[in-house]
Amino acid sequence: MNSNFLIELENVDRRFTSPEGKIIQVLDNFSMTVKPGEFCAVVGPTGCGKSTTLSLISGLAKANAGKVLIEGKEFEGIDSRVGYVFQTDAVFPWKNVLDNVAVGPLFRGVDKKEAIEKSLDWIKRVGLQGFEHHYPHQLSGGMRKRVALAQTFINSPDILLMDEPFSSLDVQTKLLMQQELLQLWSKHKAAVVFVTHDIEEATILADKVYVLSKRPTKVKKIYNVDIERPRIVTETRYTKKFIEISKSIWNDLSEEVNI
């Protein structure tokens, strides 16, 4: 067992059973590894099971066969080292920003005062000071995403799972949030698995891009993105290297999405 890896999926199968009892094979003999502090992006055709990989790593779902290892060990339930940013809004609409961010430490039994202090600090770090007592519906989509980021980062996860977190944002906000994510990550250095359908987003953020095939899903190809950091989202996307890599990922992917 190579314990250099923080996350390992080894020959994993994942099936879904429909209400009528029919079986849909989503992941088929699927393997993937992530080192500590590595930024991995996962791209693939729609419905191929990109998000399923995240559910498996988080422990929200169990593999039907194969192994899911964190630091070389199998784990029970949901691992406390994991943070998860969801595709749709998953902030609690009945809590204001302050309480939303503080919720992680509170669930984990941290003292209320300390949780609030930590929450205030993270609200500042994601640039939401002045909005502590706003409710989610009073915020813009981008601001809600910031709340979600703070909510996740406050637990200092070693593993950060992100499921198309910026797909619902407009292009400008998206670029801004990507940059902000890179900054937060560079300070914290969690291992990231970032699922997206946006090839450029994958290339600009990640060290390693997994391209998945259509269902039943296997890893089709792995790209190493050796563009140096720190990257400036709005500039790096025009460099030759970036364009080359994006293009070849797209070539790979287009074979899978041809209809």
Partner 1 sequence: MSDQNNINREEEIKKLEKISVEKVKERWRFVIFYRFMFLFVTLGGWEVLGRTGIIDPFFFSMPSSIAYQLYIWIIKGTSQGPLWLQVLVTLEETVLGFLIGAVMGIICGIALGRNKMLADIFSIYIKIANAIPRIVLGSIFIIALGLGMASKVALAVVMVFFVVFGNAFQGVREADTNLIANARVLGASDRQVTFKVVLPSALSWILASLHISFGFALVGAVVGEFLGSKQGIGLLIATAQGAFNAAGVFAAMIVLAVVALIADYLITRLENRLLKWRPNV
**Binding site residues, partner 1, CB under 8 A:** 58, 60, 78, 80, 82-84, 86, 88-96, 103-104, 107-108, 135-138, 151-152, 155
3-state helix, strand, coil in the chain (%, to 5): 35, 25, 40
β-pairing verdict for 191-195 and 39-43: parallel
CB of 132 to partner 1, least distance (A): 14
Contact at 8 Å (CB) between 220 and 189? no
Whole-number Cα distances in Å, 68 to 7, 11, 75, 79, 243: 8, 9, 8, 12, 34
Three-state SS letters, 88-139: CCCCCCCCCHHHHHHHHHHHCCCCHHHHHHHHHHHHHHCCCCCCCCCCHHHC
User: 3-state DSSP call for residue 245?
Assistant: helix
Q: How far apart are CB 239 and partner 1 at their closest, in Å? A: 35
CB of 85 to partner 1, least distance (A): 9
7: number of Cβ within 10 Å: 25
The distance of closest approach from Cβ of residue 68 to partner 1 in the complex, given in angstroms and rounded to an integer, is 15
Sign (positive or negative) of CA dihedral 186, 192, 195, 197? positive
* Least distance (Å) between residue 75 CB and partner 1: 13
Q: Any residues with CB less than 8 A from the CB of 181 and at least 6 apart, and which? A: 149, 205
Q: Which of 208, 201, 198 is nearest to 253 (CA)?
A: 198
Q: Which is nearer to partner 1, 26 or 225 (CB)?
A: 26
Phi, psi of 256 (to 5 degrees): -80, -30
Complex with partner 1: residue 92 or 250, whichever CB lies closer: 92
Which lies closer to partner 1 via its Cβ, residue 5 or residue 84? 84
Q: Could you tell me the smallest distance in angstroms from the CB atom of residue 225 to partner 1?
A: 27
Q: How far is the CB of 235 from partner 1 (least distance, A)?
A: 34
Torsion of CA 182, 163, 46, 77, to 10 degrees: 140
Question: Which neighbouring-strand residues pair with 68?
Answer: 9
